Each structure stands twice: as C-alpha cells, then as structure tokens.
Amino acid sequence: MNTSATTASANHTPLVDTALFPEGGDGEVRAAHRLYEHLVGIWAPGVVEAAQDLGAFAALTEGPATAAQLSERLGTDLRATRVLLDGLHAYDVLGRARGEDGQPVYSLPPEMHGVFAPGGLYSLAGKITHDRNVAWDAWRNLAENVRSGARTSGGAQQLNQISEEDYTALVRGINFWAPPITQVLAEGLRAHGWTSGADRRMIDVGCGTGIYSQLLLNEFPELRARGLDVERIVPIAQEQAKRLGVADRFRTEICDFWNDDWGNDSSLALFVNIFHLQTPESAHELLLKTSKSLAEDGVIAIADHIVDEDEDGSTQNKFSRLFAASMLATGGGDAFTVQDYDQWLADAGLRRIALLDAPMHRVLLAGHA
Ligand SMILES: C[S@@+](CC[C@H](N)C(=O)[O-])C[C@H]1O[C@@H](n2cnc3c(N)ncnc32)[C@H](O)[C@@H]1O
C-alpha cells in the first residue's frame, strides 16, 4: 500500500482556489466566494466531531483502514462513512492513499493520535465535548446576546460562567495551549531576574488542570506552586501534577477566588484564561485583590487573549476579537485591551513590566508600581 502519496498535510490547504478567478472579475462574486468560505467553516467541526462521536479516530489509532473496514467496525453506513472520511482528508486531518485493490485507505497521522484520545495530555477531546454541549447552541444565540448585551435582569454585564461539569471537560481540552505560552512566560521571568526559582512561591488562580504551573516548575526546579480552583477541578490538577512528576512542589487548594484568601506573599500570581471570563468591573476587582496577595518583588502574569490597539494587523488581535465574540455567544466575558489592563493595574498600584506574544495569547507581566 502506498501511504506516502497523499498523507495528511502539515499545511492547511485553502478550500477556494482564488487563482482560478478570471483577471479583473466581478468584485461582488469574489466577495461572495470569500464570505462563503467563512460560512462553510461550520463544516470543519461538523466532520471532526462526527468522527469523534462515532469512534473513528480511536479506530484509526490502531492503524490505517478502508471505509469498508471502518464502517463494519463502527456499525455505520459504507457510503456515508466514505463521505465522512473524505471530508476529514480534505481538512488534512486524515491521510488517504490507494490500497492494492484500488480502494482508498485512510490513516490518522501519528501526531494526531493524542489529539483525539480522551486521556491525552494535549487532547482536544474535552474541547470537542464542550463544543457539543455548549458552543453549537450558543452561537445560534449570538444575535440575541448582541441585542441584549448578554446582561443580567438588573442590567449588569455578566461574567462568563459555564457549569463546573462543562469546565471538567473544557480544562482538559485547552492544555495544548500551555507549552509555548509557558516558554514565553519563563523567558519573560528570566529577563526579569528569575534564575532558579529558589525561595519563590507561586499561585495559579483558577488553575484548571494546573498545566502552566506544572510546566513552569520544570523550568524553575526550586519553585513551589499552589493551584487554586473549585472542588470538582482540583483532583484533575493533582492527578496531572503526579503524571508530570511535580506533585512534590504543586499542591492544590479548593478555593473560590472571589471570596477566599490567597495569602500575601506570592512571588508570582498567574492567571491564564481567567481575565477573558470577566467584566471590566470584576477584572479591576481581581487586580486589586492580586496586588494585596503579592510579595514586594512579586510578579503578576496574565496569559490571555489580549488586544493591543497599537498592533492592529496582528494575528493575536484577530484571534482575540473573535474569541471575544465566542465569549459573548456563551454569555459574557471579553478580550480586553492592553490599555484596559494598564488602567486597572495603575488603579491597583501596579505597573506593566512586559507584554509578550504567544500563540493565540499575549502574556502580560506586571509588578508593584
Ligand atoms: C477557562 S478555565 C482556565 C483554566 C486554566 N487556567 C487554563 O488556562 O488551562 C477557568 C478556570 O477557572 C476556574 N474558576 C472559575 N471561577 C472560579 C472561582 N470563583 N474560584 C476558583 N476557580 C474558578 C474554573 O473552574 C476553571 O478551572
């Protein structure tokens, strides 16, 4: 079997070949093609999530297969299975090669195996579960939320709060963001004078699985971390700390970060993907509380979808602004600007030290003014 001929590509190929437009063609027709390509964006989660639901990725983890072999294994219709597999190949998720009998053979590239495995450290399985439970219906209501501002009955802007059950799936499904962000954060801390981490203690507020602290503990072998989160989530963080070999320096605390005390001697207070859940008022409040929890030379690190109004063409801004729309669809939260953060920091007696780019995020470091 020739599996090398058309393996899944590492590069995303566009769905519309714009080179085929005639020179000087109708601008409206081009615009319609461009917009149509956005509108059919819904196809991508459609085919990926269907394949995950059916167990197709799990089956392909065991080796390449034809549509007939997969349909028998999954109990699905043969023709429809082929349609689904070809769709996944079109999105570069599956490889597709001709087998000896001329039938296509589909393969899941090795680097994708962990991406769909429920227990994989960087698996998207939890993100898929979350999207099926929350996001599909939420996007349908975006117009209504724009009309109403997604406010409470009293007129206040809302925090983005999904249920603890939904967070249980989602926090495992966003681990993959952590390695490059943690690298950027570690470099930023080193530039700020952090060496071994000796005598340094950090808190990871709303830690989720605790992946950022856990990877940072590997960067700074003498650092110690406390992961703060709700009762349902902290066992996930504790278990993962063991898996990553840092359980001796990572402990969890069941904590409501609004109402419980965080201590007052943190060398680092870390917030990853926490500020985009806030309203301007609650973000401001969170920074006032953080200021009190920091040691004299302590650092606040915020890794989030932060818009920089001075960098308008940046990929981070584009992603952040769409992320803000997804927050609005699911009920509240925002992607705040650097300028917003600077104002809240100043009000809390803090100042920005650095703003660093990371994939889909920016990392903002701040300390006492
Ligand atoms: C979007 S997740 C981010 C998790 C983690 N920081 C990450 O980026 O992978 C938000 C986390 O904040 C936690 N959280 C939300 N409100 C909280 C509160 N009031 N007290 C403690 N944790 C909270 C959630 O349980 C969830 O684990």
DSSP string, 28-71: HHHHHHHHHHHHGGGHHHHHHHHHHHHTHHHHHHT--EEHHHHH
Q: Among residues 47, 81, 116, which one ends one of the domains? A: 116
Question: Taking every pair of C-alpha atoms in the chain, what is the biggest distance, in angstroms?
Answer: 72
Q: Is residue 12 very low, low, confident or very high in pLDDT (cuts 50, 70, 90)?
A: low
192 shares a domain with 106 = no
183 shares a domain with 68 = no
Hey, what's the torsion of the CAs at 179, 184, 187, 188, to 10 degrees?
-140
Q: Among residues 116, 137, 153, which one ends one of the domains? A: 116
Q: Looking at the predicted structure, is the pLDDT value of residue 216 above 70?
A: yes
Q: Is residue 99 in a domain? A: yes
218 shares a domain with 112 = no
Q: Is residue 137 in a domain? A: no
What is the bridge-based pairing of β-strands 361-368 and 294-304?
antiparallel
Pocket flag, ligand 1, residue 205 (CB < 6 Å): no
- 206 C-alpha to ligand 1 centroid (Å): 3
310 shares a domain with 216 = yes
Query: How far is 237 from 54, CA to CA, in rounded Å?
Result: 29
Pocket flag, ligand 1, residue 136 (CB < 6 Å): no
Q: Is residue 20 very low, low, confident or very high in pLDDT (cuts 50, 70, 90)?
A: confident
Q: Is residue 5 very low, low, confident or very high in pLDDT (cuts 50, 70, 90)?
A: very low
- 92 C-alpha to ligand 1 centroid (Å): 32
Pocket flag, ligand 1, residue 358 (CB < 6 Å): no
Q: What is the CATH number of the domain that holds 263?
A: 3.40.50.150
Q: Is residue 229 in a domain? A: yes
Q: What is the CATH number of the domain that holds 50?
A: 1.10.10.10
**Alpha carbon separation from 149 to 111, 203, 296, 323, 337 (Å, rounded):** 41, 33, 39, 16, 19
Contacts of 263 (CB under 8 A, 6+ apart): 203, 293
Share of the chain above pLDDT 90, in %: 82
Q: Among residues 59, 85, 116, which one ends one of the domains? A: 116
Q: Is residue 64 very low, low, confident or very high in pLDDT (cuts 50, 70, 90)?
A: very high
60: Cα separation from own chain's centroid: 25
Q: Is residue 23 very low, low, confident or very high in pLDDT (cuts 50, 70, 90)?
A: confident
Task: Give, for ligand 1, the residue of 230, 252, 253, 361 to mutate: max count of ligand atoms closer than 8 Å to Cβ.
Answer: 230
207 shares a domain with 342 = yes
Pocket flag, ligand 1, residue 300 (CB < 6 Å): no
Average pLDDT of the residues in 298-313: 95
Mean pLDDT over all residues of the chain? 93
Residue 220: other Cβ atoms inside 10 A = 21
205 shares a domain with 109 = no
Greater pLDDT, 188 or 149: 188
Query: How far is 13 from 34, CA to CA, in rounded Å?
Result: 15
Q: Are 125 and 52 in contact (CB under 8 A)?
A: yes
Q: Is residue 104 in a domain? A: yes
190 shares a domain with 103 = no
pLDDT (0 to 100) of residue 14: 79
Pocket flag, ligand 1, residue 270 (CB < 6 Å): no
- 274 C-alpha to ligand 1 centroid (Å): 6
Q: Is residue 136 in a domain? A: no
- 207 C-alpha to ligand 1 centroid (Å): 6
- 271 C-alpha to ligand 1 centroid (Å): 9
Residue 159, classified by CB atoms within 10 Å of its CB into exposed (0-12), middle (13-18) or buried (19+), is middle
96 shares a domain with 191 = no
pLDDT (0 to 100) of residue 69: 98
Residue nearest to atom 11 of ligand 1 (CA): 206
Residue 58: other Cβ atoms inside 10 A = 18
Atom of ligand 1 nearest to the CA of 277: 1
Q: What sign does the dihedral 93-98-102-106 (CA atoms) show?
A: negative
Q: Looking at the predicted structure, is the pLDDT value of residue 201 above 90?
A: yes
Atom of ligand 1 nearest to the CA of 257: 20
Q: Is residue 1 very low, low, confident or very high in pLDDT (cuts 50, 70, 90)?
A: very low
pLDDT (0 to 100) of residue 332: 87
Pocket flag, ligand 1, residue 256 (CB < 6 Å): yes
pLDDT (0 to 100) of residue 25: 73
What is the bridge-based pairing of β-strands 224-229 and 201-205?
parallel
pLDDT (0 to 100) of residue 313: 87
Atom of ligand 1 nearest to the CA of 260: 20
Contacts of 38 (CB under 8 A, 6+ apart): none
Share of the chain above pLDDT 70, in %: 97
Pocket flag, ligand 1, residue 174 (CB < 6 Å): yes
Average pLDDT of the residues in 71-89: 98
109 shares a domain with 202 = no
Contacts of 358 (CB under 8 A, 6+ apart): 180, 181, 184, 185, 303
Query: How far is 186 from 194, CA to CA, in rounded Å?
Result: 9
Residue 4: other Cβ atoms inside 10 A = 8
Q: What amino acid occupies position 225?
A: A
Average pLDDT of the residues in 317-331: 95
63 shares a domain with 178 = no
199 shares a domain with 69 = no
Pocket flag, ligand 1, residue 353 (CB < 6 Å): no
Task: Give, for ligand 1, the residue of 176, 229, 262, 330 to mutate: max count of ligand atoms closer than 8 Å to Cβ.
Answer: 229
Residue nearest to atom 24 of ligand 1 (CA): 206
Q: Is residue 11 very low, low, confident or very high in pLDDT (cuts 50, 70, 90)?
A: low
- 257 C-alpha to ligand 1 centroid (Å): 9
Q: Is residue 325 in a domain? A: yes
pLDDT (0 to 100) of residue 15: 84
Pocket flag, ligand 1, residue 36 (CB < 6 Å): no
104 shares a domain with 48 = yes
Q: What is the pLDDT of residues 244-275, one digit of tens each?
A: 999 999 999 999 999 999 999 999 999 999 99
Which pair of structure tokens corresponds to residue 21?
A: 């437009």
Q: How many Cα atoms occupy the beta-carbon half-sphere of 51 within 13 Å?
A: 30
Its domain, for residue 102, covers 18-116
Residue nearest to atom 13 of ligand 1 (CA): 206
pLDDT (0 to 100) of residue 52: 98
Pocket flag, ligand 1, residue 126 (CB < 6 Å): no
Q: What is the pLDDT of residues 291-301, one digit of tens each?
A: 999 999 999 99
The total number of structural domains that make up the chain: 2
pLDDT (0 to 100) of residue 135: 93
Average pLDDT of the residues in 105-111: 97
Q: In this structure, what DSSP letter does residue 134 have? A: I
Which pair of structure tokens corresponds to residue 170?
A: 């989602």
